[in-house]
Structures are given as structure tokens and as C-alpha cells.
Amino acid sequence: MENHDILSKINRQSGMTVPDGYFHDFQQRMSAKLPQQDWEKPVTAPVKRSRWQIIRPYVYMAAMFAGIWCMMNMFDILRPASSLDIAENPTLMSAIDNDAFYYNYCVADMPDTEIYDDLYEQGFNPDDIEF
């Protein structure tokens, strides 16, 4: 007959053992190794911090943000000036002048209600359309 108890098949010893009687006098041995505390000694109050010690972290943080602001301004000054005007960009102008591009990509993204509102604001009357 086969034994199905899996715990009996493995060795339960993990190798972590202590000598016999180790914890019997553990407290006395540990307290003998610790330095003696003088409990009668008066507790001193913590040293008061000066005003500068209190505000110093905030001053350092303000200086850090001022440095970041100056650095960003320097990056802006060193950046080459470029114009984002559409009239100066020939590729964009040719795309906008192309009716197929304009109606497929620009007007197609507008909702119908927005197109109708724009037409009514410009004075469009639907009765004027001839079919």
C-alpha cells in the first residue's frame, strides 16, 4: 500500500535550529549585554530653532523656482524666431487653396450644427436654394 501523506515524504528539517536551552536564559543574557540606562537623568528640552532655520526651506524653494523661471526665459531668448503665420508657409497656403483638401480635411471635422450656425450668421436663407 502506498503512503499518500506528502509531508512524511519530505524532510521537515530546514537547517535552522538553535541549541537546546538557548531561549531559557535569553532575557538575562541580552540585558547583560545592553548598556546601562540612567533613568534619573533629566530630559533636556529640544533646542529652539532660529527664525532663519524655520524659513530656510521656503527660501531655498523660492530660489529654485526663480532659477527654473530664469532658465526657461534663457531658452526662450536662445530659441530662433519662427513665424507661425499661415500666409508665410507656402505648403499650408497651397493646401488651403486646394478646394478638395479643404472640404475633405478641414470642413469634414466640423459638426453639422456648427456649419449651419455659421451659414445663418452670414445671412444664409435655405429658401433661396433652387433645386
Average pLDDT score over the chain: 81
Answer whether 107's CB lies under 8 Å from 101's CB. Answer: no
Per-residue pLDDT at 35: 84
How far is the C-alpha of 16 from the C-alpha of 18, rounded, in Å?
Answer: 7
Task: Kindly state the cell numbers that stand for 26.
Answer: 535569553
pTM, to two decimals: 0.34
% of the chain at pLDDT higher than 90: 21
Specify the higher pLDDT residue, 65 or 111. 65
Per-residue DSSP letter, 111? -
Tens digits of per-residue pLDDT, 29-82? 888 888 887 777 777 888 899 999 999 999 999 999 999 999 999 998 888 776
Compute the radius of gyration of the chain from its Cα atoms. 42
> With the C-alpha atoms ordered 106, 110, 116, 120, is the resulting torsion angle positive or negative?
negative
How far is the C-alpha of 102 from the C-alpha of 104, rounded, in Å?
Answer: 6
